[in-house]
């Protein structure tokens, strides 16, 4: 048996029947929604107390992470956006027009995460231009977390529906 047969046997190229794909999907969205702009959710909840040390820590951490995200976004710039557009277009075409299941899975996993990242970058720009503090900052971050959770729920539902359809149709072809 050659090395590439061993690799493809070890890593099943059919993504939707794989338990690892579903674990990765759930954990990706869990991580994406737990930290809003790099700030853990529990820290946001503790900072709702006006005048507390947690409130000052939150404002400082948000500013640090906004600068970090904006520097990352500026470093990627138009080339990063073009590369991401090329990647997702390629995955979409390979997955849904050429029926390559791993491309479908990668698109359904990556594209919504990229939308969530884009929303976070937009919020970072807004907070850098007009900094918020106190309860307004907490409300803004919690609202953004709700947006990320909404994107995640829709992405997971679409992925589950598509994955179920793929599993049923591949089983129907075999049987």
Of the two residues 165 and 1, the one the predictor is more confident about is 165
Encode pLDDT of 97-139 as tens digits: 999 999 999 999 999 999 999 999 999 999 999 988 889 999 9
Global pTM value = 0.86
> Would you say residue 39 has pLDDT above 80?
yes
pLDDT at 50: 80
CB 121 within 8 A of CB 73: yes
pLDDT at 1: 64
Tokens of 112: 């919504």
Q: What are the sequence ranges of the domains in the chain?
A: 52-174
Q: Give the other-Cβ count within 10 Å of 39's Cβ.
A: 20
The separation between the first and the last C-alpha atoms of the chain, rounded to the nearest angstrom, is 28
pLDDT at 11: 61
């Amino acid at each position: 048996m050659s090395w590439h047969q061993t690799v493809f046997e070890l890593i099943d190229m059919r993504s939707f029947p794989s338990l690892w794909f579903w674990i990765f999907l759930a954990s990706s969205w869990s991580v994406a929604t737990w930290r809003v702009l790099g700030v853990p959710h529990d820290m946001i909840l503790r900072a709702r107390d006006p005048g507390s040390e947690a409130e000052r820590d939150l404002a400082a951490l948000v500013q640090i992470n906004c600068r970090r995200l904006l520097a990352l976004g500026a470093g990627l710039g138009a080339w990063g956006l073009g590369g991401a557009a090329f990647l997702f277009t390629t995955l979409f075409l390979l997955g849904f027009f050429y029926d390559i299941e791993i491309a479908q899975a990668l698109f359904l996993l990556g594209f919504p995460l990229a939308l969530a990242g884009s929303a976070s970058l937009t919020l970072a720009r807004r907070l850098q231009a007009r900094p918020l503090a106190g309860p307004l900052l907490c409300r803004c971050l919690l609202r953004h977390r709700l947006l990320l959770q909404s994107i995640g729920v829709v992405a997971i539902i679409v992925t589950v529906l598509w994955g179920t359809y793929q599993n049923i149709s591949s089983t129907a072809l075999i049987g």
